């Protein structure tokens, strides 16, 4: 039951985080939420959290999750170039992808601690 609860919570967190990422990435620049850290750190941490949540939430769909998150990072940067006050940059996409990779590793580690017998 505990694993089922973790998966359900992780799914909600993953989709909620992805929604916030999309809104922050595609909103007009003056409406973009910020925290005290540098924008690169925000990108990295947002994608790390999102990736970790999806990793834990969808254990049977890991290849699709990895591909989907990495594609989302690139697609969001490309989409920014269509907006008048935003600009997509390769370095930003790479930071997002690095964050996603870190999130996948973190999700794997959390899973091993909480579910030591998990086979996936």
Please give the chain's pLDDT, 120 residues, in tens. Answer: 455 688 999 999 999 999 999 998 888 877 776 776 788 899 999 999 999 999 999 999 999 999 999 999 999 999 999 988 888 899 999 999 999 999 999 999 999 998 776 655
Residue 78 in any domain: the answer is yes
**Between the CA of residue 83 and those of 23, 25, 79, what are the distances in Å?**
13, 10, 7
| Calpha distance 120→59 (Å, rounded) | 7
| 38, 77 contact by CB (below 8 A) | no
pTM, to two decimals: 0.87
In a domain, 119, yes or no: no
What's the structural domain count of the chain? 1
Instruction: Report the pLDDT value the prediction gives residue 107, as an integer from 0 to 100.
Output: 96
Domain membership flag for residue 120: no
Q: Does some domain include residue 108?
A: yes
The domain of 78 spans: 2-114
Answer whether 1's CB lies under 8 Å from 7's CB: no
Euclidean distance between CA atoms 57 and 78, whole angstroms: 27
Domain membership flag for residue 100:
yes
The helix (H) or strand (E) run that includes residue 28 is none
């Amino acid at each position: 039951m505990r694993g089922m609860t973790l998966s359900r919570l992780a799914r909600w967190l993953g989709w909620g985080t992805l929604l916030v990422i999309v809104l922050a990435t595609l909103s007009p620049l003056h409406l973009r939420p910020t925290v005290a850290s540098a924008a690169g750190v925000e990108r990295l941490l947002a994608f790390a959290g999102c990736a970790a949540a999806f990793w834990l939430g969808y254990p049977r769909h890991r290849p699709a999750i990895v591909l989907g998150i990495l594609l989302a990072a690139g697609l969001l940067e490309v989409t920014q170039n269509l907006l008048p006050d935003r600009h997509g940059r390769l370095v930003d996409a790479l930071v997002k992808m690095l964050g996603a990779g870190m999130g996948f590793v973190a999700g794997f580690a959390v899973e091993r601690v909480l579910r030591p017998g998990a086979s996936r």
